[in-house]
Amino acid sequence: MGYVKLVLFFMLYPFLFQLAFSSSLPHLCPKDQAHALLQFRHMFTINLNASHYCYHPITLSGNKSTDCCSWNGVHCDETTGQVIELDLSCCGLQGKFHSNSSLFQLSSLKRLDLSYNYFSGSLISPKFGELSSLTHLYLEYSGFTGLIPAEISHLSKLYSLRIWSDDPYGLRLDPYNFELLLKNLTQLRYLKLDSVNISSTIPLNFSSYLTILRLPRTQLRGVLPERVFHLSNLKYLDLSSNSLTGPISSNVSGLQNLKYLDVSSNYLNGTIPSWIFSLPSLIYLELANNSFSGKIQEFKSKTLAVVSVNQNQLQGPIPKSLLDKQDLQFLTLSQNNFSGQIPSAVYNLKTLIMLDLGSNNLNGTIPQCLGEMSDLEVLGLNNNRLSGTINTTFTTENRLRIINLYGNKLKGKVPPSLINCRRLEFLDLGNNESNKLHGPISDSRTDNLFPKIRVIDLSSNGFSGNLPVSLFENFQAIKKIGENSGTREYIAGDYANILIVTTKGLDQELPRVLTTYTIIDLSRNRFEGHIPSIIGDLVGLCMLNLSYNGLEGIIPQSLHQLSVLESLDLSSNKIGGEIPQQLASLTFLANSSYQGNDGLRGLPLSKDCGGDDGVPQPTTPVELDDDKEEEGDLISWQVVLMGFGCGLVIGLSIIYIMLSTHYPVWFSRLSN
Ligand SMILES: *[C@@H]1O[C@H](CO)[C@@H](O)[C@H](O)[C@H]1NC(C)=O
Ligand SMILES: *[C@@H]1O[C@H](CO)[C@@H](O)[C@H](O)[C@H]1NC(C)=O
Ligand SMILES: *[C@@H]1O[C@H](CO)[C@@H](O)[C@H](O)[C@H]1NC(C)=O
Ligand SMILES: *[C@@H]1O[C@H](CO)[C@@H](O)[C@H](O)[C@H]1NC(C)=O
Ligand SMILES: *[C@@H]1O[C@H](CO)[C@@H](O)[C@H](O)[C@H]1NC(C)=O
Ligand SMILES: *[C@@H]1O[C@H](CO)[C@@H](O)[C@H](O)[C@H]1NC(C)=O
Ligand SMILES: *[C@@H]1O[C@H](CO)[C@@H](O)[C@H](O)[C@H]1NC(C)=O
Ligand SMILES: *[C@@H]1O[C@H](CO)[C@@H](O)[C@H](O)[C@H]1NC(C)=O
Ligand SMILES: CC(=O)N[C@H]1CO[C@H](CO)[C@@H](O)[C@@H]1O
């Protein structure tokens, strides 16, 4: 990840540089300016806790008896002493920002940065339009609501305007004012309006100086006008998460400097025009989640770092030219109809971090060298037609966090070197039904096996032998109960939202999986022997499915420690005996949603069986079944409840938010 940040940092460096406030020589600021600043400061309280975007909050200090030009974030003109630059970003300022604010007395201001504060519910005052010297105005994530006033368009010297609303319904820009703004701000180089409700088509009159145009989540609709691509200085274009329709014009040339193109999450269709593949400086290409069809052509850019075209209707082979991009870090082609084999030359992509080819039509075998790609963290080959063995050696240096081979036709033994994947959080080898993976999944080594694993799905294969006790012992991440409060962590961390995870247990595709959602699914294999009581130590477990195996013996009492378990399926085994009384302490049993409990013996009856609110699909309550008792110890039982404890429901609500704030976190931190 450090490397990605580095690359993107350099890519954005010229723009970040504009932000750097130049240092100036000592000088005295006029008293009225100092007074205005102090007065402004006293309008607000400081809340340094809230904004997670601010890593180094600035303390706004002012001392009447010192020169205000020496205060943090304040810069003055060297000759007049007037305040010309004010950087109050990340100061934790909290309170209402009124039109009578003394800030508007600083009439010489050229740069004003108020981003990342809490002026919650404050309107953007028309008085901003009177700060006529402004070249840079940053109002990102600072809690402003209402309408962006037309007066902003008076700021004809504006070079850079950045407004990002933290509330998607909070800020609105009238389509007419939007056009006005664009027409009048003839010097504009950098325009970013993020999550501002504009709800119009894209106007045609832009400043031809525009270098960075970012209008994501602004409810833009209609076709993407060709005019946008005639902005020859454009380096950075982001129109993602809007409602743009139709094809992208093919009649485009120039754009020698375009580094970043993101039109993902729109309704664009047709083929991807060939000029996109010819862009010489392209680093970042995001076309995901549209309806593009046809083939991908060979890429000319040598600098590509990110190619993300997932969730379209693309087909054909994986382009060869992608395999010699020395800087490629993210390649996501999933959820299309790409066919052919995975070229083994993929190994040449030494910098690749994410290879997501899932849900396509790929066949052939898994290239042998994949386990040797030293930077690879995410390998998604699920839901294809891959066959043969997993004949790769995972080196001890590998950094894999996700391996998803679900839904292929793989067979043979799981490579013993899999145990070298110490960073693994998600392993899905499930549903390789037609051929079946088998073999022992652990060896005699008992230390450090998958300490970070949170989801392991080996279902519908041919694994045999006793349940792998030594594996369970090392599932450190499941041995604690995940915290659902505070910031959410996702499997695969920061870039998880460009990864779609499919698991059978969830029976749906989740854009990202909360790290608190832990799954062990070993169903439909040939495991035998007893259920080891050590499973009871996996207290963070949300879902355990051991059904359709040859397990026998009794249910260990230790299972009652699984206090956040939402789903337990032990059906179709040869488990016998009493169901331990202690299982009554499992909260989901108290919540009584059962299914298919034929033959349960002694499962504690709960008081509020079935039908109560908030609990999904309660079915048959538990009953004793004497007939089954006569069949000896062969008891088939199943308890199912999809609950709330482990965050699936929370996870789903997060997905919505994720779709509307599409940026990978690591990216927004750098670029906003
Ligand atoms: C303000 O600055 C003066 C001069 O440097 C210093 O003596 C005084 O302690 C400062 N006051 C505060 C409140 O920091
Ligand atoms: C500024 O306006 C607000 C709201 O109208 C008012 O409450 C406040 O007293 C005013 N402050 C000054 C210094 O006039
Ligand atoms: C355009 O900017 C000028 C200031 O240069 C201003 O006088 C004029 O009113 C602005 N036009 C609009 C339509 O806002
Ligand atoms: C805006 O663009 C349209 C189409 O290019 C053009 O006809 C019109 O004259 C432009 N208006 C202004 C004010 O520049
Ligand atoms: C693209 O979508 C539009 C509707 O937005 C539709 O009319 C058109 O036929 C589609 N074109 C293709 C090539 O699918
Ligand atoms: C996927 O591509 C294959 C050809 O490789 C084609 O036969 C099939 O119809 C395509 N499937 C879809 C859903 O477009
Ligand atoms: C795995 O790859 C090695 C090295 O190429 C080869 O010798 C071996 O036959 C392969 N095994 C299988 C089962 O394909
Ligand atoms: C457990 O796995 C079996 C077979 O893979 C599946 O049919 C069943 O629905 C699963 N149980 C739960 C509760 O998901
Ligand atoms: C005993 C117990 O944990 N009951 C829980 C059942 O589920 C509801 C939510 O649907 C919880 O509020 C209860 O605490």
Q: 120, 150 in Cβ contact below 8 A?
A: no
**Cα 36 from chain centroid?**
42
Among the listed residues 642, 583, 586, the one whose alpha carbon sits nearest the alpha carbon of residue 617: 642
Atom of ligand 6 nearest to the CA of 316: 5
Q: Is 590 in the pocket of ligand 9 (CB under 6 A)?
A: yes
Strand partners for 363 = 341
User: What's the pLDDT score for residue 617?
Assistant: 28
Q: 279, 299 in Cβ contact below 8 A?
A: no
- Helix ranges, 219-282 (H): 274-278
Summarize the confidence of residues 599-611 as an average pLDDT.
33
Burial annotation 92-119 (CB, 10 A radius, 16+ → b, else e) = bbbbebeeebbbbebebbbbbbbbbbbb
Summarize the confidence of residues 259-272 as an average pLDDT.
96
Q: How many CA atoms lie within 13 A of 84 on its CB side?
A: 16
- The burial of 373, by beta-carbon neighbours within 10 Å (0-12 exposed, 13-18 middle, 19 or more buried), is given as buried
Summarize the confidence of residues 344-348 as an average pLDDT.
90
User: What's the pLDDT score for residue 208?
Assistant: 87
User: What's the pLDDT score for residue 638?
Assistant: 30
Locate tokens 């960073």: which residue? 423
> Closest Cα to atom 5, ligand 1: which residue?
66
Helix (H) or strand (E) segment spanning residue 545? strand 543-545
Pocket test for ligand 8, best of 545, 565, 617 (most atoms within 8 A of CB): 545
Pocket test for ligand 3, best of 132, 133, 154 (most atoms within 8 A of CB): 154
175-192 per-position pLDDT tens digit: 999 998 888 999 999 999
Q: 248: Cβ–Cβ under 8 A, 6 or more apart, which residues?
A: 224, 263, 268, 270, 272, 273, 276
User: What's the pLDDT score for residue 595?
Assistant: 33
Q: Is 619 in the pocket of ligand 7 (CB under 6 A)?
A: no
- The burial of 26, by beta-carbon neighbours within 10 Å (0-12 exposed, 13-18 middle, 19 or more buried), is given as exposed
- The burial of 185, by beta-carbon neighbours within 10 Å (0-12 exposed, 13-18 middle, 19 or more buried), is given as buried
Pocket test for ligand 1, best of 66, 67, 70 (most atoms within 8 A of CB): 66
Q: 600, 579 in Cβ contact below 8 A?
A: yes
Distance CA 321, CA 298 (A): 5
Could you tell me the two tokens for 17?
């540089």
Among the listed residues 490, 496, 259, the one whose alpha carbon sits nearest the alpha carbon of residue 356: 496
CB neighbours of residue 471 within 10 Å:
18
What is the rounded end-to-end Cα distance, in angstroms, of the chain? Answer: 18
Q: 225, 200 in Cβ contact below 8 A?
A: no
pTM of the model: 0.78
Atom of ligand 9 nearest to the CA of 591: 6
Q: 458, 430 in Cβ contact below 8 A?
A: yes
Could you tell me the two tokens for 315?
């087909």
User: What's the pLDDT score for residue 516?
Assistant: 60
The confidence band for 594, taking pLDDT boundaries of 50, 70 and 90, is very low
User: What's the pLDDT score for residue 196?
Assistant: 92
More confident residue, 185 or 416: 185
CB neighbours of residue 447 within 10 Å:
8
Report how far ligand 2's centroid is from the alpha carbon of 40 (Å).
Answer: 12
DSSP line for 26-43: --PPPHHHHHHHHHHHHT
Taking phi over 0 as left and psi of -120 to 50 as alpha, with beta for the rest, 375 belongs to alpha
Q: What are the counts of helices (DSSP H) followed by strands (DSSP E) for the chain?
A: 9, 41
The confidence band for 244, taking pLDDT boundaries of 50, 70 and 90, is very high
Q: 562, 539 in Cβ contact below 8 A?
A: yes
Q: What angle do CA 547, 549, 551 make, to 5 degrees?
A: 100
Q: Is 315 in the pocket of ligand 6 (CB under 6 A)?
A: yes
> Closest Cα to atom 7, ligand 3: which residue?
154
Pocket test for ligand 8, best of 428, 457, 569 (most atoms within 8 A of CB): 569
Q: 284: Cβ–Cβ under 8 A, 6 or more apart, which residues?
A: 8, 11, 259, 260, 261, 262, 304, 305, 306
Q: Which ligand is nearest to the CA of 95?
A: 2
42-71 per-position pLDDT tens digit: 888 887 765 555 655 555 555 666 788 888
460-511 per-position pLDDT tens digit: 888 888 888 878 888 888 888 765 444 445 555 444 444 444 444 444 444 4
Pocket of ligand 1 from Cβ distances under 6 Å:
63, 65-66
DSSP state of 121: T
User: What's the pLDDT score for residue 476?
Assistant: 87
Atom of ligand 6 nearest to the CA of 337: 1
Indicate the residue type of 583: L
Q: 269, 247 in Cβ contact below 8 A?
A: yes
506-550 per-position pLDDT tens digit: 444 444 445 567 888 888 888 999 999 999 999 988 888 888 888
Atom of ligand 9 nearest to the CA of 590: 1
The confidence band for 631, taking pLDDT boundaries of 50, 70 and 90, is very low
Of 104-113, 267-276, 470-479, the range with the lowest mean pLDDT is 470-479
Pairing of strands 638-640, 567-569: antiparallel
Distance CA 47, CA 218 (A): 29
Among the listed residues 329, 374, 320, 331, the one whose alpha carbon sits nearest the alpha carbon of residue 355: 331
Of 125-129, 240-244, 360-364, 435-439, the range with the lowest mean pLDDT is 435-439
Report how far ligand 8's centroid is from the alpha carbon of 34 (Å).
Answer: 69
Q: What average pLDDT does the chain have?
A: 76
Distance CA 419, CA 356 (A): 22
Among the listed residues 137, 100, 98, 97, the one whose alpha carbon sits nearest the alpha carbon of residue 115: 137
Pocket test for ligand 7, best of 347, 370, 372, 391 (most atoms within 8 A of CB): 391
Q: 419, 396 in Cβ contact below 8 A?
A: no
> Closest Cα to atom 1, ligand 6: which residue?
337
User: What's the pLDDT score for residue 436?
Assistant: 61
Atom of ligand 5 nearest to the CA of 271: 13
Laid out side by side, the sheet with 409-413 consists of 387-389, 409-413, 436-438
Report how far ligand 4's centroid is from the alpha carbon of 433 (Å).
Answer: 61
DSSP line for 462-516: --EEE--HHHHHT-GGGSSPPP-SSS--BTTGGGGGG--EEETTTTEEES--BTT
Sign for the CA dihedral angle at 416, 420, 422, 425 comes to negative
Among the listed residues 127, 171, 125, 167, the one whose alpha carbon sits nearest the alpha carbon of residue 145: 171
Report how far ligand 7's centroid is from the alpha carbon of 369 (Å).
Answer: 11
Among the listed residues 194, 191, 152, 143, the one whose alpha carbon sits nearest the alpha carbon of residue 170: 143
Report how far ligand 4's centroid is from the alpha carbon of 205 (Å).
Answer: 6
